[in-house]
Structure 1
Amino acid sequence: MLTQTTTRVLEPSDLDAALAVLGREPVANAFVTARVQIAGLDPWRLGGEMWGWYADGVLQSLCYAGANLVPVCATPAAVRGFAERARRTGRRCSSIVGPAGPTAQLWRLLEPSWGPAREVRAHQPLMATDRMPAAVPPDPYVRRIRKDELDTIMPACVAMFTEEVGVSPLSGDGGLLYQARVAELVGAGRSFARLDQDGKVVFKAEIGAATPQACQIQGVWVAPEYRGRGLAAPGMAAVLRHAFADIAPVASLYVNDFNHAARAAYRRVGFQEVGAFMSVLF
């Protein structure tokens, strides 16, 4: 029996079908789901196109093509379709990120025309938890950052991003987009930190993507002079307390496999590996 397949840019009328695909894996898809739930599928509001892969007229897989290229529930055949479209349009994204298997296949197909990458992080454990840790009490000094404290949190955010990604978020447009994103999270009550007696950030984290099913913690950072003092695990427990109380029943994150200290801290507060991501940075 012949199977007809096609790849096309989704339209606002495809929203319900797209959300059904995203709902298959609420933890892994939290980033894209959150954007779609807020913006729909209009490319201008979404900040990129949503590509759909159809088999016999049924939407099976997605690929978000914005600042990041993100395969979603992508079968091998869908990845080939997305790669063909990506080659035709040319690289417009700063990274490819998503579940390790489809992302690795996508990069193998795109590397001859898009490569070389600045860095490839082939295995980033995806971790999740749905309960507060029994043995790690939340740090009572970790709290939400107020809107009038944007200048306080911004240097820590820049330091974290530069350390994590390898380039400053202030390059290019002078940091306007990055500062707007930090301000958005602060305004939404999803930026958390502990300050020392001098008002300097010593621990911080944000809840980036958030859906009714799951949220994704990002930007976890301890000031270098405070590392090794056991601040990360209680700080994460405090963030989890806020997440479960106000945002979603499941919290997730993904971490570089070589960051053994962070992985150990996350395990101490109950995070367990539920999958793996891969990131290709340009």
Structure 2
Amino acid sequence: MWKSDYAQAENLRSNLRGVEGDVTSNISSAVEAMNQIRELYESMKELECEEMKAFLDAKKKRSTVNLINKKKDELLSEKKEISKLCDDLDNHNYLEGESRFQTHSRSYLRIDEDRYVDARATDTKDKQAIFKVSIERRNPVRLGLKAANGRYVKAQRRGGVLGLGIGGRAAFELTSECQGWETYTLFFRNAASICLKTEHKTWMSADQEGNLTQVKNCDTWETFRCVDFKLRRAALIETIEKKIQKFRNAGSKDSDEKITFGKQASISKWDT
């Protein structure tokens, strides 16, 4: 009985050792498997990190490229705008706009009775003394003068002083259309002084009485001062210079390319 129990006990111990060996083996296998899984996980993490880094780098590069392209587009747009402003200067587009014309005797051109033009205005704020200038032709520049009532200044073929001219007609009247007789060739004497030549090869002239006539020769009384021309031109030049400086500053920071313009406008002197 005791021997039988002992044998059975030993048999059970043997089975236990076998089971323990199997468990130990299984645990070892499980640990090895876990280690392999951990290594695989770490490898995947590294791969994911590398892929994520590559993705972020690519995104950053795309963002940088997009930013550069956007800046280039902005610079190109700015350059086009500057070129357009230079063209405006070259084409004297600053002449267009509301203007006042002062005579040698300090009076101003004005419309009278909505039919005639004389030089008796004394107040620059007088609406009758404001004319909207338009460029009707180029090379040479010919201007149209539109009065406050929407009519154009016309040089009569037989010009004379109002009330003293041939047939009592004025030297300059107002008409609804702007054609040959309503245009004037522009000549600059200096920065703000001009002369206006009619279609009839005569010159607009204002005497001390404020009468507006046409004469064959151009001298002092045929010179008119138009500060508005000078101010608009100066403002245009200032705008161009500021934009050019801004363009150069932006180009020096964002690009190694040398910035050049296809056309350089003369902005240092009054064009004559």
TM range (shorter): under 0.3
More helix as a share of residues: 2
Q: Of the two, which has the highest radius of gyration?
A: 2
- Normalised by the size of structure 1, how large is the TM-score? 0.22
- Normalised by the size of structure 2, how large is the TM-score? 0.23
More strand as a share of residues: 1
